[in-house]
Structure 1
Amino acid sequence: MTESVSVAEAERASAPPRGTASTAVTLATQICRFDDVLGAAAADRLLEEGCHALMDEVRGRGAGAEAMVPPTWRCADQADRFPALTAVVTRLAPMVMTMLGVPVVDPRVSFGFTMHNELPLDARREEPPVRDSAGPAPDPGPSDSYRISFVYHLHRRPRGFTGGQTRIYDTTVREGHPGIAESFRDVQPDHDSLVFFPSDAWYQVRPVASPSAKLLDSRFAFHGRLSASASASAR
């Protein structure tokens, strides 16, 4: 496993200037990326098992045959179904918390499986930036507090899609209120790579194009969180 921090294949760039009415402070979002996380054979098995889980959900929700390869799909919490990924995230958690400077007491690992077969390059339809700490996530407990997010990327080889970077934005603070900065880093969705970042950072999946429209040529990822366990949050 190789590991790198902050700028590993995640170039900081700037969006077009938006203009500001007042002075803002920009805070760089720290990230922590690992490559070759599970190894080729284990990652390929995980991809196959993830596709089975996705198709089980598609069928379970009564989608017709014409929708068997939807443009996007998100499965519910899959942590119990994929213990190998849960184990590696748990093992890396202490190091990640130190590198990001975000402590999590008795961390609980949760993640869902996501598929993007097509995300148009269209501002009206493009997924907007979101923050995990600002909204619901798969199966949160009543006292959970999301502190660190992670994305484990995987895909068939050779890659059957283009795009699909995870764009992680820096944060501006203006008049005491956080906002999305013009600067960001694009993390490439390389097979068997894992990136961690604070859950209060804004991020988005960049447009995806899969010319074949086949399921296995999609962008796949396990998108998860490290949160304080219910018992720790109640202390």
Structure 2
Amino acid sequence: MTVRDLATATPRTGEQSSRVSADAVWRLPVTVCRITDFLGKRASAALLERVVAEAGGAMAPSTVDGSSVVPEVRRSRSAWFGAPELLEAIDEVLEVVENTLHVSCRDTEPSYCLNVHNDGDFYRAHQDTDGSGYSERLLTFVYYLHRTPRPFQGGALRVFDALHPVDPEKTPTWEGCTWRDYAPEHDSIVFFRPTVWHEVRKVGCPSGRPEDSRFAVNGWLCRRPTLPSAREDVN
């Protein structure tokens, strides 16, 4: 069932059938675009070499909401990192991704960084944006790299189903929600909408060495800032 079908099928307030429980919830699988062997062996190996060098240097603890370090919610290290070859490859598949996820990324700019997960690191369930009001983030992407054979365990990307109560006055909870896990396979990339609930499962890295980490170049395609002259006068 598509979101459009759901909107048609979901009863409006006061129109709910007595045969349907007031606690009923639609659970819709979230669409994720995943591509393997994205850059190819030579390009991904060259990028991995740069990533390993970056991981061996000074990196800051990853933040929540771009400002706060909250170890019980997110534990990893992050740094700004340039990967023009990755952005060029994303441009080549962007039209298909847009059509699949039903999102337009026209007139956007990328914002991205390198995230490094080592032993015991994780990121609890979260959204990249809650979709309320004006959101700059239109599309999330995550590109994975690691040494082979994979020197760590875990670290899957868990994507949760979308929940829509049959009764529009009720708010769904995430307890017991179903999901799908995506392995952080070297030279693979995933795309999804930033409103999707997702998490990074706990990583186990017995060696603890930076070069054995789970590496991810992740970010968003964002709306370009509106020029002051182009904004409406709201005074």
Q: TM-score, normalised by structure 1?
A: 0.72
CA distance in 2, matches of 1:48, 1:144: 34
Contact between 2:101 and 2:192, CA under 8 Å: does it hold in 1? yes
TM alignment of 1:118-157, pairs within 5 A: 118-119=119-120, 127-134=123-130, 145-157=136-148
Written as runs of structure 1 = structure 2, the 5 A alignment for 1:67-78 is: 72-76=76-80, 78=81
Larger radius of gyration: 2
Question: Which whole-Å deviations, capped at 9, do the CAs of 1:33-64 have from their partners, x for residues lacking one?
Answer: 111111112111111212333444439xxxxx
Which residue of 2 is the match for residue 216 of structure 1? 211
Q: Secondary structure at the match of 1:230?
A: coil
Checking the alignment, whether the CA contact within 8 Å between 2:40 and 2:187 is kept in structure 1 is: yes
Cα distance change of structure 1 residues 57 and 106 upon mapping to structure 2, 3 Å threshold: farther
Q: Secondary structure at the match of 2:177?
A: strand
Q: 1:151 touches 1:222 (CA, 8 Å); kept in 2?
A: yes
* Aligned twin of 1:29: 30
Name whichever structure is richer in strand by fraction: 1
Residue 91 of structure 1: SS of its match in structure 2?
A: helix
User: What is the TM-score with the length of structure 2 in the denominator?
Assistant: 0.72
Deviation sequence 1:94-146 (CA, Å, 0-9, x none): 110101112222122221101111226xxxxx5320111139xxxxxxx8611
Q: Residue 159 of structure 1: CA displacement?
A: 0.8
Moved more, 97-106 or 163-172: 97-106
> How far apart are the structure 2 equivalents of 1:147 and 1:113?
19
Kindly tell me the number of residue pairs found equivalent between the two proteins: 190
Conservation of the 8 A alpha-carbon contact between 2:32 and 2:192 = yes
Aligned counterparts, 1:31-70, within 5 A: 31-58=32-59
Q: Structure 2 regions of 5+ residues with no counterpart?
A: 1-20, 61-74
Structure 1: gaps spanning 5 or more residues: 1-19, 60-70, 121-125, 136-142
User: Does the 8 Å contact 1:144/1:230 carry over to 2?
Assistant: no
Counterpart code for 1:212: S
Secondary structure of 1:129 counterpart? strand
Counterpart Cα distance in 2 of 1:179 and 1:146: 24
1:194 and 1:217, CA in 2 relative to 1: closer, same or farther beyond 3 A? same
Determine the C-alpha separation between the residues in 2 that align with 1:127 and 1:56. Answer: 22
Aligned residue type for 1:94: E
Q: Cα RMSD (Å) of the superposition? A: 2.7
- Aligned identity (percent) is 32
Within the candidate set 190, 200, 224, 1:205 is matched to 200
Structural mapping, 1:47-196, within 5 Å: 47-58=48-59, 72-76=76-80, 78=81, 81-119=82-120, 127-134=123-130, 145-174=136-165, 175=168, 177=171, 180=174, 182-196=177-191
Task: Give the 3-state SS of the residue equivalent to 2:129 in structure 1.
Answer: helix
Q: Residue 39 of structure 2 contacts residue 187 of structure 2 at CA under 8 Å; is this kept in 1?
A: yes
